[in-house]
Amino acid sequence: MLNIQRIALREIRLPLKEPFRISSGVLSERRICLLELTDADGTTGWSECVAFEQPMYSAETIDTAWLAIREWLAPRVIGHAFEHPSAVFAALSRNICGHNMAKAAVEMGCWEVGARQRKLPLSRMLGGTRDRVPTGISIGIQATPAALAERAKAAYDQGYGKIKVKIQPGADVAFVAAVRETLGSKVHLMADANSAYTLADADHLAKLDAFGLIMIEQPLGRDDLVRHAALQRRLSTPICLDESITGVDQAEDMIALGSGRIVNIKPGRVGGFASSKAIHDVCERAGIPVWCGGMLESGIGRAHNVALASLPNFSLPGDLSPSARYWEQDIVTPEWTMDVDGMVQVPLDGPGIGVTVDLDRVDGLTVRREVIGSAKMATV
C-alpha to C-alpha distance for 279 and 75, rounded to whole angstroms = 27
Do residues 239 and 231 lie in contact, with contact meaning Cβ atoms separated by under 8 Å? yes
Q: Are 314 and 134 in contact (CB under 8 A)?
A: no
Q: What phi and psi, each to the nearest 5 degrees, are found at residue 56?
A: -95, -25
Bridge-based pairing of strands 4-22 and 25-39 is antiparallel
Nearest to 108 by CA among 136, 82, 85: 85
Please spell the DSSP secondary structure of 223-234, one letter per residue.
T-HHHHHHHHHH
Q: What is the rounded CA–CA span in Å between residue 267 and residue 290?
A: 12
- The helix/strand/coil state of 146 is helix
Q: How many residues does the chain have?
A: 380
Dihedrals phi, psi of 280, to nearest 5 degrees: -55, -45
- The DSSP secondary-structure symbol of 259 reads -
Query: Which of 166, 186, 207, 376 is labelled catalytic?
Result: 166
Contact 297, 50 (CB under 8 A): yes
| Catalytic site residue from 119, 266, 277, 376 | 266
Please name the amino acid found at residue 68.
A
Q: Is 266 a catalytic residue?
A: yes
Q: What's the CA angle centered on 309, arms 304 and 314, to 5 degrees?
A: 155
Q: Is 164 a catalytic residue?
A: no
Give the active site residues: 166, 266
